[in-house]
């Protein structure tokens, strides 16, 4: 939502769970889920039809705004990822198509090795303090393509020369970002 000619307000959900080490039981559940997804891929009659096209990522200032907004929210959307991370036979089909030399064991090892050492309580196992610990090519397409309503509004708005972005969580925590600043230099503001 534009608040003036050069300012845009983005409202993001914001989650507040604590960071905890993932339990061995959650990691075992992920391993079982991956084995099942790979088995489903092997059983598929036309695995090539399962491969999903990758979503085009924003670039430039819009990419920086997405990164900063998701970081400020701390991944509310990731909370639904649990021990499955939305990974399924379609993800496994894409991983296999892009890296055909990897064995099933190597794929499982790549996922287990990417689990966040500290993840948000009851969230996706890859949901660490700096965002997703899973490389984009290994993520479920849902994770690569999902944007909350606040970000969707921003991304769907025409590029209008907005210079300042205010990112606000539903709890009122604010950050201000200008087009000349890198995401790390973002200034924290106070709730209004």
Q: Is the pLDDT score of 30 beyond 90?
A: yes
Mean pLDDT, rounded, for 6-17: 87
Close Cβ partners of 160 (under 8 Å, ≥ 6 residues apart): 2
Residue 184: give the domain boundaries.
Answer: 2-189
Assigned token pair, 98: 């892009």
112-154 per-position pLDDT tens digit: 999 999 999 999 999 999 889 999 899 999 999 999 999 999 8
Looking at residue 184, its pLDDT comes to 37
Looking at residue 1, its pLDDT comes to 53
CA angle 62, 59, 48 (to 5 degrees): 125
How many structural domains is the chain composed of?
1
Residue in the block written with tokens 């890198």: 182
pTM beyond cutoff 0.85: no
User: Strands 119-120 and 19-20: what pairing?
Assistant: antiparallel
The mean pLDDT value of the chain amounts to 87
């Amino acid at each position: 939502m534009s608040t003036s000619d050069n300012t845009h307000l983005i409202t993001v959900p914001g989650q507040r769970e604590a960071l905890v080490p993932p339990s061995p039981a959650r990691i075992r559940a992920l391993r079982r889920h991956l084995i099942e997804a790979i088995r489903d891929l092997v059983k598929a009659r036309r695995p090539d039809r399962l491969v999903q096209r990758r979503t085009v990522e924003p670039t430039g200032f819009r990419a920086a705004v997405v990164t900063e907004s998701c970081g400020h929210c701390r991944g509310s959307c990731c909370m639904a990822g649990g021990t499955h991370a939305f990974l399924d036979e379609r993800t496994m089909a894409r991983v296999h198509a892009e890296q055909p030399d990897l064995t099933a064991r190597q794929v499982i090892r790549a996922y287990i090795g990417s689990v966040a050492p500290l993840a948000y309580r009851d969230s996706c196992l890859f949901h660490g303090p700096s965002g997703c610990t899973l490389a984009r090519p290994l993520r479920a397409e849902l994770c690569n393509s999902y944007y909350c309503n606040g970000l969707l509004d921003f991304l769907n708005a025409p590029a209008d020369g907005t210079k300042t972005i205010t990112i606000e969580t539903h709890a009122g925590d604010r950050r201000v970002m200008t087009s000349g600043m890198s995401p790390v230099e973002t200034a924290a503001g106070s709730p209004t």
